Chains A and B, each alone.
Chain A
Amino acid sequence: QKEVEQNSGPLSVPEGAIASLNCTYSDRGSQSFFWYRQYSGKSPELIMFIYSNGDKEDGRFTAQLNKASQYVSLLIRDSQPSDSATYLCAVKDTDKLIFGTGTRLQVFP
């Protein structure tokens, strides 16, 4: 059974700080990785995806992938209270995504 693990949190950071969210996965052959954000009562929305080792930046978000260590992380720079949500890590497995249970992020003013 392929698994994706995330710390459930909550992760509390002050406004303006860097929030670091981590995810590990069990299948060494996994190729594609996704980060979704889900506000309470809403559906998940895609933040970014990554499939090459290293960093990928998009605005205030940076995804980092280390296939040798089987982890993927999401950094949020200059965190804002509006970033408070649950962040879901997902790994592609043939025609489906396997999701972690998510990390709840709280950004306080």
Chain B
Amino acid sequence: KAGVTQTPRYLIKTRGQQVTLSCSPISGHRSVSWYQQTPGQGLQFLFEYFSETQRNKGNFPGRFSGRQFSNSRSEMNVSTLELGDSALYLCASSSHRQGDTYNSPLHFGNGTRLTVT
């Protein structure tokens, strides 16, 4: 079974630009989450989608947005990039269903490393 696929692997953008990152979950997984990882802050939750609906959102500004398509693939968009947005962006999928409190761990993709100059 193929794992979580993220594209692109690396991106270099300049301040003020916008960027779109893509994520294809493990086949059959309907939940997709996005995390930002930086050396200082660790892994920070951005948002989670299930069946095309955003169920949860982290404490990030509105410049960060996402969506999920009917095939469970997800995209994340960051507008008006700032230097502080430089990070590894990780997508993770799980078979999580509503009410499934215990199991359904996250499986991460290889990430997209974004550098903002």
Contact = CB atoms under 8 A, between A and B. Distances in A.
A58 interface: no
Interface size class of B (residues with CB under 8 A): 20 to 34
Nearest to B109: A43
**Most chain-B CB neighbours within 10 Å: which of A36, A44, A90, A94?**
A44
Contacts of B66: none
A96 B92 CA distance: 10
A44 B102 contact: no
A99 B37 CA distance: 10
Interface in B17-76: 31, 33, 35, 41-43, 45, 48, 50, 55-56, 58
Interface string A82-109: 0000001010101111111110000000
A34 B96 contact: no
A96 B90 contact: no
Nearest to B47: A96
For this complex, into which size category does the number of interface residues on chain A fall? Answer: 20 to 34
Nearest to B111: A43
B107 interface: yes
Contacts of A45: 108
A43 B109 CA distance: 7
A51 B110 CA distance: 27
A49 interface: yes
A44 B108 contact: yes
30 contacts: A31-B101, A32-B102, A34-B105, A43-B108, A43-B109, A43-B110, A44-B90, A44-B108, A46-B105, A46-B106, A46-B107, A49-B103, A51-B102, A51-B103, A88-B43, A92-B101, A95-B31, A95-B55, A95-B96, A96-B33, A96-B45, A96-B48, A97-B45, A98-B45, A99-B35, A99-B42, A99-B43, A100-B42, A101-B42, A102-B42
Given A44-B108, A46-B106, 10 more contacts: A34-B105, A43-B90, A96-B33, A96-B48, A96-B56, A97-B45, A97-B106, A99-B43, A100-B42, A101-B41
Interface of A: 31-32, 34, 36, 42-46, 49, 51, 88, 90, 92, 94-102
